[in-house]
């Protein structure tokens, strides 16, 4: 949902997937770009594995998420579907670059090749849910115009509202978003997502726990406000500081 919110989705998510936060607040006033950048920069540096449940319109999918920082500017996330049987074995690989465009790949059982997702396909539903692959990561802050849009209490947290508008060169499925950000713990609590027609989706962080000193998004919802349907991502189990090989987050490994 952010590289944090999302990585509060993952980036599960995932995402944005995607979407884990640390706790390092600042007291002084700062620009919305600096606040947004601090969220991106505050992604936990420790590797983790998580078991995740994706629920959508009565269907339940079980997934495993592995995540690791590969170098100073690169993060890898591998999302593997474990059930039900008809989609088990589907895997998504996301390589996030803090200084350039992300790479996103998919491998479907029965298909011999790995497919790299292009920008116009990243907005497709993730396993039929209201989440999309692009929701597992945040857009590049440098590809956005940012401004403050007020303040609001969200689930008891004093949040700043940050409105972001995509620049023409941005590789992002949305035209605009409004994030409710807790600047104290650097967590995105809510995201309103817009396309060219207006409000499209509403993402909310519904349950948070601090595990091993890290704020962890245990339950998050994505609602399509036009169709009045929603999907839920729930982290059922997570382990930080695990040993994950760098090779795990490569296209070559995904092709095996």
Each residue of 149-182: pLDDT tens digit? Answer: 999 999 999 999 999 998 887 778 899 999 999 9
Q: Are 56 and 129 in contact (CB under 8 A)?
A: yes
Tell me which residue of 126, 84, 91, 135 sits closest to 110, measured CA to CA. Answer: 91
Cβ neighbors of 167 (< 8 A, separation 6 or more) are: 143, 144, 145
How far apart, in whole angstroms, are the C-alpha atoms of residue 232 and residue 103? 25
Domain total for the chain? Answer: 1
Is residue 40 over pLDDT 80? Answer: no
Choice between 17 and 134, residue whose per-residue pLDDT is larger? 134
7 band by pLDDT with thresholds 50, 70 and 90: very low
* CATH at 62: 2.50.20.10
Q: Are 33 and 256 in contact (CB under 8 A)?
A: no
150 within a domain of the structure (yes/no) = yes
87 within a domain of the structure (yes/no) = yes
Q: What is the pTM of this model?
A: 0.81
Residues 202-216: what's their mean pLDDT? 94
Domain that holds residue 43: 32-242
35 band by pLDDT with thresholds 50, 70 and 90: very high
Residues 47-70: what's their mean pLDDT? 95
203 within a domain of the structure (yes/no) = yes
252 within a domain of the structure (yes/no) = no
Element (H, E) at 39: helix 32-41
25 within a domain of the structure (yes/no) = no
Backbone angles phi, psi at 112, to 5 degrees: -75, -15
206 within a domain of the structure (yes/no) = yes
pLDDT at 121: 55
pLDDT at 12: 36
21 within a domain of the structure (yes/no) = no
Residues 53-69: what's their mean pLDDT? 94
Q: Percent of the chain having pLDDT more than 70?
A: 87
74 within a domain of the structure (yes/no) = yes
DSSP β-bridge partners for residue 233: 54, 220
Q: What are the C-alpha distances in Å from 223 to residues 16, 30, 220, 234?
A: 15, 31, 10, 15
């Amino acid at each position: 949902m952010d590289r944090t919110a999302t990585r509060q989705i993952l980036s599960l998510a995932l995402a944005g997937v995607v979407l884990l936060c640390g706790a390092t607040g600042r007291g002084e006033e700062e620009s919305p770009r600096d606040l947004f950048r601090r969220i991106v920069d505050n992604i936990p540096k420790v590797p983790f594995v998580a078991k995740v449940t994706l629920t959508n319109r009565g269907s339940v999918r079980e997934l495993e998420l592995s995540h690791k920082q590969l170098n100073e500017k690169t993060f890898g996330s591998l999302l593997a579907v474990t059930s039900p049987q008809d989609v088990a074995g589907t895997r998504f690989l996301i390589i996030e670059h803090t200084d350039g465009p992300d790479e996103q790949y998919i491998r479907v059982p029965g298909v011999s090749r790995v497919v790299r997702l292009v920008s116009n396909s990243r907005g497709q539903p993730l396993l039929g849910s209201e989440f999309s692959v692009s929701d597992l990561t945040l857009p590049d802050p440098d590809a956005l115009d940012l401004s403050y849009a007020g303040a609001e209490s969200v689930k008891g947290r004093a949040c700043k509202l940050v409105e972001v508008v995509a620049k023409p060169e941005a590789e992002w499925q949305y035209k605009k978003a409004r994030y409710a950000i807790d600047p104290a713990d650097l967590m995105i609590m809510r995201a309103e997502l817009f396309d060219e027609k207006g409000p499209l989706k509403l993402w909310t962080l519904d349950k948070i726990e601090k595990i091993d000193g890290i704020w962890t998004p245990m339950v998050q919802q994505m609602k399509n406000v036009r169709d009045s349907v929603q999907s839920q991502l729930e982290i059922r189990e997570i382990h930080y500081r695990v040993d994950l090989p760098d090779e795990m987050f490569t296209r070559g490994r995904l092709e095996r």
